[in-house]
């Protein structure tokens, strides 16, 4: 991996982070490494908040032009912290995502491009993150899944309409309704990732891609990115997310099966489903 030896000079102070590390592999590039390897980089409530601050800082800090996100260990991000979620369910506490969605990214618009360097497991909320990013580079050992249906929850952070727009309805349905794992090779064939990195570190490859972007006009990059977004997202995708999350998701929250699914996962047993009463 390339040495992170560039000393940045910022006009604004980087946010303090507990669950992620910030580094600067090259001028104008921010590398964010999710750093809960024992928990497969699952993101908890505090982690969501600090990541939102990081991405806001990326947009605000003039010297930064491109962001990269990756994970420490064998996972990119395995999704939500289900132990915390289960505790919140038992205490009847809400568990909303911050503005910007899961990890501050799954519904983020933002100004500056962000590249995912997917180094391993990319499940649930982790997969929702990459679906909304600008480019995705994947290690040959990376794997992708939206397994929420297996534990009675849903991918609520904005991935579903975006996934359909990216890889098409049939493949999006297959991924979301079966919850099965998709290999890096298959994800590339589907158009979910830009490249599968075979012989080099995926972070190094993402840095090289970021250098190509950061070498261009910052203004032109931002304006060009907005033009591409109009073609992909427009109003309908986010409006679909809003209508769905406001109309159907509250019904799921009121049901028994979501709580049962999360609880059974934590208790390491098979869930006992109740008849749907939505």
Taking only the tens of pLDDT, the chain with its 278 residues reads 444 545 668 888 999 999 999 999 998 999 999 999 999 999 999 999 999 999 999 999 989 999 999 999 999 999 988 888 787 777 666 666 678 899 999 999 999 999 999 999 999 999 999 999 999 999 999 999 999 999 999 999 999 999 999 999 999 999 999 999 999 999 999 999 999 999 889 999 999 999 999 999 988 899 889 888 877 876 677 787 887 788 877 887 888 888 888 899 999 999 888 867 77
Give the CA distances from residue 16 to residues 98, 129, 196, in Å, rounded to whole numbers and listed in that order: 17, 21, 32
Residue 62 to residues 12, 13, 26, 57, 111, Cα–Cα distance (Å): 9, 12, 15, 9, 11
Map residue 34 onto helix, strand or coil. Answer: strand
Q: pTM for the full model?
A: 0.86
- The sheet carrying 182-183 orders its strands as 75-77, 121-123, 143-145, 182-183
Q: How many angstroms separate the CA atoms of 269 and 151, rounded?
A: 11
What are the extents of the domains in the chain? 20-266
Structural tokens at position 46: 């505090």
Per-residue confidence (pLDDT) for residue 3, from 0 to 100: 46
pLDDT in tens, 233-277: 766 777 878 877 888 778 878 888 888 888 999 999 998 888 677
Local structure of 64: helix, strand or coil = coil
Quote the CA–CA distance of 230 and 224 in Å, as a whole number.
10
Q: Does domain 20-266 have CATH number 3.90.226.10?
A: yes
Q: Rounded to whole angstroms, how far apart are CA atoms 4 and 34?
A: 16
- Choose the catalytic residue: 50, 61, 84, 128: 128
128 part of the active site: yes
Tokens of 100: 């910007």
The angle at the Cα of 199, spanning 140 to 125, to the nearest 5 degrees, equals 30
3 state DSSP class of 167: helix
Question: How distant, in Å, are the alpha carbons of 44, 77, 202, 223 from that of 119?
Answer: 20, 9, 6, 29
Q: What pLDDT shows up at residue 32? A: 98
User: Does 60 qualify as catalytic in the annotation?
Assistant: no
Alpha-carbon distance of 72 to 85, in angstroms, equals 22
Which one of the listed residues 62, 148, 174, 198 is annotated catalytic? 148
């Amino acid at each position: 991996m390339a040495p992170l030896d560039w000393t940045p000079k910022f006009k604004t102070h980087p946010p303090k982070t507990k669950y992620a590390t910030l580094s600067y592999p090259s001028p104008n590039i921010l590398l964010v490494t999710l750093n809960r390897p024992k928990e497969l980089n699952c993101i908890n409530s505090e982690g969501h908040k600090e990541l939102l601050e990081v991405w806001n800082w990326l947009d605000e800090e003039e010297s930064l032009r491109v962001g990269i996100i990756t994970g420490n260990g064998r996972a990119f991000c395995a999704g939500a912290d289900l132990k915390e979620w289960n505790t919140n369910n038992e205490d009847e506490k809400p568990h909303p995502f911050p503005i910007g969605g899961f990890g501050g990214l799954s519904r983020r618009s933002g100004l500056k491009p962000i590249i995912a360097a997917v180094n391993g497991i990319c499940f649930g909320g982790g997969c929702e993150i990459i679906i909304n990013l600008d480019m995705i580079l994947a290690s040959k050992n990376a794997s992708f899944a939206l397994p929420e249906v297996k534990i009675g929850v849903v991918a609520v952070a904005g991935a579903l309409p975006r996934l359909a727009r990216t890889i098409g309805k049939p493949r999006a349905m297959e991924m979301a309704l079966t919850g099965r794992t998709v290999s890096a090779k298959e994800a590339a064939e589907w158009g979910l990732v830009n490249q599968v990195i075979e012989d080099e570190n995926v972070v190094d490859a993402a840095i090289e891609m970021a250098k190509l972007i950061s070498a261009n006009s910052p203004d032109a990059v931002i304006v060009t990115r907005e033009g591409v977004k109009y073609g992909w997202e427009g109003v309908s995708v986010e409006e679909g997310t809003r209508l769905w999350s406001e109309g159907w998701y509250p019904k799921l929250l009121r049901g028994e099966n979501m709580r049962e699914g999360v609880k059974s996962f934590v208790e390491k047993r098979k869930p006992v489903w109740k008849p749907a009463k939505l």
